[in-house]
């Protein structure tokens, strides 16, 4: 029986890396992303009978329900989900509006919940794994991340609750919390000063590679390698979340 994986935000960044690696491991993959040039590029890049790319706004409940049903009909039984879709802003508290806060919570938390819930409904009783991509900002108190960090902290908590509730259905639910990663977005927005600031707080003194986040995610999806792992948030961050006082000198 073929294994089908849903990856939200799968048209670019970490999500796209997970899609490529999952295909190499033999998964059939459904890419959920917003309609637009990014998803169109993914459709061109991923011309394969094992892939379907769907324009889905993960905050729209009816659209998520319909998309999950379409995946089951076109690719076969769902066995895994990666919630990688999300948005973030680096905004001081007094500049963060209620609308901005709601938008981030809606996409990062509600969107992840809806996709996980519907996929779990399909997988219940036959087993499977859900991995939520969160962030070290949901673990540590990072300045300027009041809305983004709150949303990722909520997803970490949601992960634990879903793991407990869905375990009797044979489902595992975990999270991967990346530190700073060299994605195209980070390369665009993180200038030299910001990179130095991040690296000064990371024991390994470097940004992570997309492939390192991908490897951790695929590990948690694997029932043979991680079959007794559920409800965990795995920080893939070069030691950022466990660091105390460090020598602040730069190489």
> Catalytic residues, which ones?
148
The structure tokens listed for 91 are: 């905004």
Structure-token pair, residue 148: 């983004």
Distance CA 224, CA 62 (A): 34
Residue matched to tokens 């980070």: 186
| Tokens coding 4 | 């089908």
For the chain, the helix, strand and coil percentages under 3-state DSSP, each to the nearest 5: 50, 20, 35
C-alpha to C-alpha distance for 88 and 82, rounded to whole angstroms: 18
Nearest to 77 by CA among 1, 172, 187, 156: 1
85/83 Cα distance (integer angstroms): 6
The alpha-helical segments, DSSP class H, found in 76-145 are 98-105, 111-123
Q: 């094992």: which residue's tokens?
A: 50
115: tokens are 């996709």
d(CA 224, CA 32): 26
Which CA distances in Å does 63 have to 5, 52, 60, 166, 248?
18, 16, 5, 23, 49
Tokens 């951790």, located at residue: 216
């Amino acid at each position: 029986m073929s294994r089908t994986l849903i990856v939200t935000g799968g048209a670019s960044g970490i999500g796209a890396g997970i899609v490529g690696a999952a295909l190499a491991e033999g998964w059939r993959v459904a890419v959920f992303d917003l309609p637009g040039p990014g998803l169109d590029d993914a459709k061109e890049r991923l011309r394969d009978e094992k892939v379907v790319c769907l324009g889905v706004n993960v905050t729209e409940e009816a659209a998520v329900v319909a998309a999950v049903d379409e995946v089951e009909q076109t690719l076969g039984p769902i066995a895994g989900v990666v919630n990688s879709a999300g948005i973030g802003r680096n905004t001081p508290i007094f500049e963060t509006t209620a609308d901005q806060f709601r938008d981030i919570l809606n996409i990062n938390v509600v969107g992840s919940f809806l996709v996980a819930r519907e996929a779990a409904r399909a997988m219940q009783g036959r087993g499977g794994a859900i991995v939520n991509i969160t962030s070290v900002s949901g673990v540590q108190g990072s300045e300027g991340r009041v809305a983004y960090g709150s949303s990722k902290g909520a997803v970490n908590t949601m992960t634990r609750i879903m793991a407990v509730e869905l375990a009797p259905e044979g489902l595992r639910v975990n999270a991967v919390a990346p530190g700073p990663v060299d994605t195209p977005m980070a390369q665009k927005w993180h200038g030299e000063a910001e990179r130095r600031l991040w690296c000064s707080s990371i024991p390994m003194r470097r940004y992570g590679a997309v492939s390192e986040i991908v490897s951790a995610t695929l590990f948690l999806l694997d029932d043979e390698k991680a079959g007794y792992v559920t409800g965990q948030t795995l920080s893939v961050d070069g030691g950022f979340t466990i660091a105390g006082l460090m020598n602040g000198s730069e190489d």
